[in-house]
Amino acid sequence: MVPTSRYATCAGYEIHYMEWGAPDAPVVIAWHGLARTGRDMDELAAHLAPRYRVICPDTLGRGLSQWARDPAAEYQLAFYARIAAELFDRLGIERAHWVGTSMGGAIGTVCASGLFQPQLKERITSLVLNDNAPCLAEAALQRIRSYAGAPPAFDTVLELEAFFRQVYQPYGWLSDAQWRRLTETSTRRLPDGRVTPHYDPAMVQQFTMHANDYLIWDHYDALDIPVLCLRGEQSDLVLRETTAEMLTRGPGLRGLARVVEVPGCGHAPALNVPEHYALIDAALHGAQVRAGTIGG
């Protein structure tokens, strides 16, 4: 199935997104990770598109979306939630499932809690957190802070691809064609002609200006929807003690949370192979059964 590239104005910015599937199908929002783009969700979206309308945005400052005019104030979860709320309205989305990788999972959590955008609380019906949790390991956050604000530049696209293959090795298996597409959909040229990852380096201010932005237990505790956490087996960002705590509070306390460790991956599973699809299919199906939108 061929997707459509679209743009919407949200919170005063042009936000790019890819749209897959029929416009009247149940909606899945598939949101990418910190320094990535919505095109990371291509394989998952293609798998889901025969049954769902899948929306894959580029976050502010990433991919083809505009960059923030006030990075210190706008590169943070509260502003991303505002963008998401306006995207729901622009696209006429009444209800949606949410699949989020890393940062995309955190955005989904704060949207679904309703603490930032109360109008979204009843509109997100289930949440899949792909190697994301309400508390992230400090050592891994320090590593992210060290590189996110200074993306490397290379003379050639093939050199950038080699870099991506190294740093994103924890994603697990990708075909050569998938590595090439990952590279080409997240590359921009600098004024001197070199190539670099396609994001605004100022987005690192989320960490320097909002040091505890990813400490979101209050949002998690407010959730009363099904939550599936996919933890990369070798993840250094989401610790096992954190996922254990997720099962004892918030939706976990209400019997709505589940944690699955994904073998052969660290941070974060690429969501591009049948084993990953099966986990997400089951989560979406279970949420629809619980909501009464389909039979068991």
pLDDT on residue 295 = 65
CA–CA dist 15, 2 (Å, integer): 20
pLDDT on residue 71 = 98
Into which CATH architecture does domain 4-137+214-291 fall? 3-Layer(aba) Sandwich (3.40)
pLDDT on residue 296 = 64
Domain boundaries, the chain: 4-137+214-291
CA–CA dist 150, 153 (Å, integer): 9
pLDDT on residue 143 = 83
Predicted model pTM: 0.97
Cis peptide before 202 (omega within 30 of 0): no
pLDDT on residue 293 = 79
Which ranges of the chain have pLDDT less than 70? 295-296
pLDDT on residue 195 = 98
3-state class (DSSP) for residue 236:
coil
CA–CA dist 120, 209 (Å, integer): 26
pLDDT on residue 291 = 75
Cα 129 to chain centroid distance, Å, stands at 8
Q: How far is the CA of 42 from the CAs of 45, 63, 241, 244, 272, in angstroms?
A: 5, 14, 31, 31, 8
CA–CA dist 175, 100 (Å, integer): 22
